[in-house]
Amino acid sequence: MAANCQISKNRLLAVHFAEGTGEEDRLIRAHVQQCVECRLYLDLIGNTDRWLCEWGDENPPAGGFELLLERIEAAEPLPAVVKKRNTVLPITPFLKILTGIAAMVGIILLLTHRLAAFSFWDKVRLWWVVEWIGPLGVAAAVTICAGVLITLALSPVLLWESQLRR
């Protein structure tokens, strides 16, 4: 089909198999009378269709399936890999949690003794909340707030990393 030809091969197929509208078929057949490449393509479609219709059905040879199965080499199935599950819980996560708790308690106790050294402590200890929870409670609250702030500061990085692993 020529470079300037606007007729697609699918439209020529539709004309051959009478799948288009009557007006569309008439326009395309008028174009085929003038366009050599479209005429050759439509002839090719017609010849291929006639050849396929003349071909006829074929019956496979008797026992063909059995012959095919004989040619296929029998292979032993691979053994399934069964991963042994450990019935005993690993102690490592518990040790890590206990280490973290011990470190947090140590930080709280250290901070409790160091609070008096701050210049603002004399004013803060007179607050009713501080009198109620005491220096140990203030140290725990400061430690927990610091942990929350650190976690919030790291959350964009952790989110980014989790999206990279997907």
- Residues 160, 96 within the same domain: yes
Q: What is the pLDDT of residue 13?
A: 85
Q: What is the pLDDT of residue 21?
A: 81
| String of DSSP letters for 22-45 | HHHHHHHHHHHHH-HHHHHHHHHH
pTM reported for the whole predicted model: 0.36
Q: First CA to last CA across the chain, in angstroms?
A: 49
In a domain, 73, yes or no: no
- Residues 96, 153 within the same domain: yes
- Residues 42, 97 within the same domain: no
- Residues 44, 104 within the same domain: no
User: What is the 3-state secondary structure of 54-79?
Assistant: HHCCCCCCCCHHHHHHHHCCCCCCCC
In a domain, 87, yes or no: no
- Residues 49, 105 within the same domain: no
Each residue's pLDDT tens digit, 41-63 = 889 988 998 998 888 777 878 88
Mean pLDDT of the chain: 81
Q: Yes or no: say if 42 and 10 are a contact pair by the CB < 8 Å rule.
A: no
In a domain, 84, yes or no: no
In a domain, 74, yes or no: no
- Residues 98, 160 within the same domain: yes
Percentage of the residues of the chain whose pLDDT score is greater than 70: 93
In a domain, 85, yes or no: no
Name the one residue in this structure whose structure tokens are 């790291």: 154
In a domain, 81, yes or no: no
| Euclidean distance between CA atoms 45 and 9, whole angstroms | 10
Q: What is the pLDDT of residue 2?
A: 52
What's the structural domain count of the chain? 2
In a domain, 64, yes or no: no
110 by DSSP, 3-state: which?
Answer: helix
In a domain, 30, yes or no: yes
| Euclidean distance between CA atoms 116 and 125, whole angstroms | 9
Per-residue pLDDT of the chain (166 residues; tens, 9 = 90+): 555 677 778 888 888 888 878 888 888 888 888 888 888 988 998 899 899 888 877 787 888 888 888 777 766 777 777 777 766 677 788 888 888 888 888 888 888 778 777 777 778 778 887 778 888 788 888 888 888 888 888 888 777 877 776 6
Return the structure tokens found at 111: 């901070």
Domain housing 104: 92-164
